[in-house]
Amino acid sequence: MRVFVASLATETNTFSPVPTDLESFKESFYAPPGEHPATPTLCSATHIICRERIPELGWTLIEGTATWAEPGGLINRQTYELLRDEILDQIRAALPLDGIVLGLHGAMVAQGYDDCEGDFLTKIREIVGPKVIISAELDPHSHLTPLRVKQANVLIAFKEFPHTDFVDRAREVVEITIASIRGEVTPIISVFDCRMIEILPTSREPMRTFVDKIQTIEQQENVLSISVIHGFMAGDVPEMGTKLMVITDNDQPLGDELAKSLGMELFSFRGNTRPPYLTPDQGLTLALRVPERPVIVADIWDNPGGGVAGDSTIILKKLLLLKQQNVAIGTIWDPIAVKFCIAAGEGSHIQLRFGGKSCATAGGPVDALIKVKKVVRKAVQSFGESVVPLGDAVCIELAGIDIILNSNRSQAFSPDLFSNLGINPLEKQLLVVKSTNHFYGAFSKISENIIYIDCGAPYPSDPITNNYKKLIRPIWPIVADPHGLEHQTAAAKDTVIGDTNHE
Ligand SMILES: [Zn+2]
């Protein structure tokens, strides 16, 4: 048997001012065939698991390209087509094949392509024909289009948010692919459109119990996999929203029923899944009252992981007004300021303009005399088992506040973000991180005190005011009752609610 593995992934915030091009992929992660490192990345764990499993079966593994761009704005058309065609050529050269395993993200949007993954899967299917098993691992912050469901045999999303389980889910993708190639199972995908968009962290209730419950249901006979597609509200595409996906072993009625019942249970959680979000004034006042250190302050909507620039200065400017010292901020993206600091050298004092330049809602730049405390070329931080590049980075000090400036956009994943730049995170009163939820896994290990601040920008965080042009399905909270529940009698509810997608 012959199996091909590749990865093409990013998350596109169609509202972001940061265009995504080939350089964006190459500076984040680009591994040509055979050159994927031994550690997985978020969207290429399937590479590592295929290396473990396929050769030991006596089968042949053919590796294609694996690449990922930090979430950003619309991908330029030539870049998407170039990367797509590179992998399609590799597939043609690898024929005949029995299986194709892909690391996708699922929220990729390019100029002229609202559904890049649907396009990619369709072109792969055209090359390999109907019998080859095509499987993909997805991020739950993705768009599940009928076209993808039609072209793929196996689609599995990470269950956890923070995404601590991407290696476990990759293992499931590969095992179900192997069983499908052997003819031991026949995967059938059922999808229910929950008609909502919501932030669904699984580190808290009610999602914690829900994820545990679906993992119990996965043990039932004929149930191969259950995924919650959370959706990605910063992607203005027709299929944006939360969906419940069940894969059965050739049991469409069971899959449809489970998808619908679990999907409506998920819909019932709307409005009650997020941690409390505070304004900058409320959040900082509360944070400064906590006697223990460090307190983690998350700037949730300046999260480069959601495609924005990550250069907002709103919280920094509040801290400067409060004359608050013993604070560290990780990070503010500003490659030009990093260059200036590196040129000036460690220990130098320079007048610097930094941050706040990417868009009108990023808080505006800071102009100040700063000290360059530390310079690190090709700095990194960890995220679970993966290593995340920050590019060249510096730690600068301004009025008692340590600020990390980086040149590759990245959200804060782990306290080693700070220690790698010479800051002891345990000694700081406040650690300000740019991240919505992924920071939680590693930072909650060093502090119980976590405060979420909603600056209202620059991420498009309110679906009601986001002014979607391509999303035309009725979804909550834009529409209060998208399933028409209020107009149904209790007896009729079970028979007409929702859509179950059979494609
Ligand atoms: Zn995600």
Q: Are strands 386-398 and 401-406 parallel, antiparallel or unpaired?
A: antiparallel
CA of 138 to the centre of ligand 1 (A): 9
Q: Which two tokens stand for residue 247?
A: 């894969």
In the sheet that holds 223-229, the strands lie side by side as 223-229, 243-249, 187-193, 500-501
Q: What value does the mean pLDDT of the chain take?
A: 95
CA of 273 to the centre of ligand 1 (A): 16
Q: Which two tokens stand for residue 377?
A: 């070329």
CA of 140 to the centre of ligand 1 (A): 6
Q: How much is the average pLDDT of 459-479?
A: 96
For residues 254 and 238, give the distance between their C-alpha atoms in angstroms, rounded to a whole number: 27
3-state secondary structure of 327: strand
Residue 378 region, left (φ>0) first, then alpha (ψ -120 to 50), else beta? left
User: 285 pLDDT exceeds 80?
Assistant: yes
| Position 101 confidence tier, pLDDT thresholds 50, 70, 90 | very high
Q: Decide: 280 and 455 in contact? Cβ < 8 Å.
A: yes
For residues 315 and 297, give the distance between their C-alpha atoms in angstroms, rounded to a whole number: 10
pLDDT tens, residue by residue, 181-210:
999 999 999 999 999 999 999 999 999 999
Helix (H) or strand (E) holding 91: helix 77-94
CA of 95 to the centre of ligand 1 (A): 32
CA of 1 to the centre of ligand 1 (A): 33
**CA nearest neighbour of 356 among 434, 467, 443:** 434
Q: How much is the average pLDDT of 204-233?
A: 98
CA of 399 to the centre of ligand 1 (A): 35
pLDDT at 71: 96
CA of 494 to the centre of ligand 1 (A): 32
CA of 158 to the centre of ligand 1 (A): 8
**CA nearest neighbour of 320 among 348, 284, 373, 349:** 284
Q: What is the 3-state secondary structure (H, E, C) of 199-227?
A: CCCCCCCCHHHHHHHHHHHCCCCCEEEEE
For residues 503 and 501, give the distance between their C-alpha atoms in angstroms, rounded to a whole number: 6
Cα torsion 395, 396, 401, 407: sign: negative
CA of 139 to the centre of ligand 1 (A): 5
CA of 461 to the centre of ligand 1 (A): 15
pLDDT tens, residue by residue, 4-41:
999 999 999 999 999 999 999 998 899 999 999 999 99
CA of 12 to the centre of ligand 1 (A): 11
User: 491 pLDDT exceeds 90?
Assistant: no
CA of 214 to the centre of ligand 1 (A): 19
Global pTM reads 0.92
Q: Where do the domains of the chain lie, and which CATH numbers do they carry?
A: 2-267 (3.40.50.2300), 277-453 (no CATH)
Q: Which two tokens stand for residue 175?
A: 């095992």
Neighbours of ion ligand 1 (CB under 5 A): 139, 141
CA of 349 to the centre of ligand 1 (A): 39
